[in-house]
Amino acid sequence: MDAPVIGLRVGLLLTTPWVCQIIRLMMEHEAAVPTERREGACNLCGASDAQPVFTGHDPLSGEAFPVVRCGRCGLSYVHPRPSIERLSHYYPEAYYGKRHPFFANFMNDLRVRKLPRLRGAQRLLDIGCGRGDFILRCRARGWSVAGVEQSHSPVIALKAALGIDVYEPDDLASIAAESFDVVTLWHVLEHLPDPASTLAEVRRILKPGGTVLIEVPNFGGWDSRLGGPTWFHLDVPRHLFHFEREPLSRLLHGAGLTPQRWETFSLEYDAFSVVQTLLNRLCSRPNHLFQLLIRRGHTHARSVKDTVVSLAALPALLPLALVVSALAARRHAGGVLRVWAEKRGLFAVLHSE
């Protein structure tokens, strides 16, 4: 056998395991992110054997929506849910509300501090950027920023004034691959009709070694267990999915994103969530105090009674809520799930196998 043939055979022998490994990883990735699902099938595992958990009520419309849990993987979600076209009716202009600027800036600065350290000229994409408050704080600290938001959001109208790129959700696929260092989703993933597909897109547009930072309400937290259908963060049908740590971790892995770090404490939400969850048992509609605070247009006949009840009970509930939320955070059962996940390079993935 001459030298070139021997060399070719040795080369094939050495590279075949690597090629098989790469193909297996690609097939696993494809299997984990199915592109089509049956109506009502689990977004994570595709099973259709979900069991009822409870029925929640929309704080805005008062309509009832059942929440179910997948019997195979434990992911909880609204089922049946409104069609994509119908869902837009549950996001009226008033939904976006407006927080006091001091409070909004303080909370957005806390979020900026959660970002990976800025190294030179780096790009950040905030999916679900709302009015753009967070990305403007990021830009002020040196990040090159862009956002994604629904077309009827106020930020689209302000796009020119802000001087930043704001994509519509359907345009996510047009963003160049490996073009962002960090992608953030602050209380957004639970709103999306197909989180698995969105996370696959996030992986595509992240640079190798890039980070996605996600925060969602913690369906496994103490305030959720305390409230059940009256939980502050339930917010059906806008919150289509209700994440616990394990299903969210599997969803990230399935999209090719590796969780690096988890937190459950939120200064922004935890104590207030306990207060509002308890108040929801006393008021005629969920989340009345929250809607007052963010100045949502909310004129319901029973609003006056709910306002009186909320303000009267607040002094008694607040100390209790501070204690409960502090204990919950120590037990990793706070009101949110915050996770940093990395898009690992192919060599890092192969090395870890």
Q: How far is the CB of 59 from Zn ion (least distance, A)?
A: 27
Q: Binders of Zn ion among 268-287, rule CB under 5 A?
A: none
Closest-CA residue to 219 (of 69, 7, 33, 11): 69
Q: Is 250 in the site for Zn ion (CB under 5 A)?
A: no
Q: How far is the CB of 41 from Zn ion (least distance, A)?
A: 8
- DSSP class per residue in 254-269: HTT-EEEEEE---TTT
Q: Is 44 in the site for Zn ion (CB under 5 A)?
A: yes
Q: Report how far residue 270's alpha carbon sits from residue 273's, in angstroms, rounded to the nearest whole number.
A: 5
- Of 45, 125, 234, 248, the one binding Zn ion (CB under 5 A) is 45
User: 286 by DSSP, 3-state: which?
Assistant: coil
Q: Is 68 in the site for Zn ion (CB under 5 A)?
A: no
Please report which residue ranges of 64-140 form alpha helices under DSSP H.
84-87, 101-113, 133-140
Nearer to Zn ion among residue 45 and residue 155 (C-beta)? 45
- Identify which range of 43-51, 60-68, 134-142, 167-175 contacts Zn ion by CB under 5 A: 43-51
Q: How far is the CB of 192 from Zn ion (least distance, A)?
A: 16
Q: With 0-12 CB in 10 A as exposed, 13-18 as middle and 19+ as buried, what is 307?
A: middle
Q: Is 70 in the site for Zn ion (CB under 5 A)?
A: yes
Q: Binders of Zn ion among 72-131, rule CB under 5 A?
A: 72-73, 75
Nearer to Zn ion among residue 44 and residue 341 (C-beta)? 44
Which amino acid, one-letter code, is at 199? Answer: L
| Distance set, CA 105 to CA 100, 111, 275, 345 (Å) | 9, 10, 23, 35
Q: Is 248 in the site for Zn ion (CB under 5 A)?
A: no
How many residues of this chain bind Zn ion (CB under 5 A)? 8
Please report which residue ranges of 185-287 form alpha helices under DSSP H.
195-205, 222-227, 245-254, 270-279
- Of 32, 42, 60, 107, the one binding Zn ion (CB under 5 A) is 42
Nearer to Zn ion among residue 45 and residue 336 (C-beta)? 45
Residues that bind Zn ion (CB under 5 A): 42, 44-45, 47, 70, 72-73, 75
